[in-house]
Structure 1
Amino acid sequence: MKTLVIGASHNPARYSYMAVKMLKQYKHEVVALGRRARGVEDWEIIDGTPDIPNLDTITVYLNADNQKEYYDYFLKLNPRRIIFNPGAENPELVALLNKNGIETENACTLVMLRSNQF
């Protein structure tokens, strides 16, 4: 299952960093997207709005204001679902995604992984 972590950070104290690490630990294929491309340990953060074929899940670590520039990108990627982690909740985007047949959840990716709900 391929997952896009949007708002990825190179800082080990950030939840988006922990999500990338844990997704990899649980053997998920991960694409990390952040503001600046850079190498981090054994993975990379990419930037921009690249095509990501066969994407199942987007997990969001951006606040609602910073998500606006990605609305069309999310629709274009057309994942099965988008997870809004704590602090990333966005009712406006949820309504748009649901209208376009994309499942949404307000949840914590780390908790979902640990409890086998991912």
Structure 2
Amino acid sequence: MKETTLVLGASIKPERYSNIAINRLRDKGYQVKAFGLKRGSVGDVTIDTELISYKDIDTVTLYLNPNRQKSYYDYIISLNPKRVIFNPGTENPEFYKLLEENAIETEVACTLVLLTTNQY
């Protein structure tokens, strides 16, 4: 099984990009954890509504606007992922700096494009 990705800002709505990303990540064999405001599931992935201290997160992919990200800075840093992907609309230079200070790679890209082009 491939590395584990945390989708932050997950939605049960099938038209949302976070939902599509969960499905595509699973289709490509990635382990997926998901956090959102509403509990539910996307395929075989449960969307948690409480922050869990995962020990094995390789990538966090963000689907939260920069203002909403602020309350998750410490949580994301505490997970010590290798990288955080800032999807379109989530770009946040303030957070890039904090992540860099904690030796966490930032990538401004679209998770769906990365998966489609085998660059994930």
Q: With the length of structure 1 as denominator, give the TM-score of the two structures.
A: 0.96
Q: Distance in 2 between matches of 1:41 and 1:110?
A: 17
Q: Distance in 2 between matches of 1:11 and 1:23?
A: 16
Name the amino acid aligned to 1:43.
Answer: V
The residue that corresponds to 2:61 in the other structure is: 59
Q: 1:43 deviation in Å?
A: 2.4
Question: Which among 14, 20, 39 is matched to residue 18 of structure 1?
Answer: 20
Q: 1:51 deviation in Å?
A: 1.1
**Structure 1: gaps (5+ residues):** none
SS of 2:70's partner is helix
Matches within 5 A, 1:104-115: 104-115=106-117
Name the amino acid aligned to 2:32.
Answer: V
Q: Distance in 2 between matches of 1:30 and 1:2?
A: 6
Give the stretch that moved more between structures: 40-49 or 15-24.
40-49
Q: 1:40 deviation in Å?
A: 3.5
Q: 1:48 deviation in Å?
A: 1.8
SS of 2:85's partner is strand
Q: What is the aligned length?
A: 118
* Same amino acid, percent of matched pairs: 49
Name the amino acid aligned to 1:11.
Answer: K
SS of 1:93's partner is helix
Q: Distance in 2 between matches of 1:102 and 1:20?
A: 22
Name the amino acid aligned to 2:82.
Answer: R
Name the amino acid aligned to 1:76.
Answer: S
> Displaced runs of 4+ in structure 1, greater than 4 A?
none
Name the amino acid aligned to 2:24.
Answer: M
The reply on whether 1:83 has 2:85 as its aligned counterpart is yes
Aligned-pair Cα RMSD in Å: 0.9
Name the amino acid aligned to 2:112.
Answer: L
The residue that corresponds to 1:28 in the other structure is: 30
Name the amino acid aligned to 2:39.
Answer: A
Q: Distance in 1 between matches of 2:56 and 2:34?
A: 15
Conserved in 1, the CA contact under 8 Å of 2:9 and 2:35?
A: yes
Name the amino acid aligned to 2:47.
Answer: I
Name the amino acid aligned to 2:99.
Answer: L
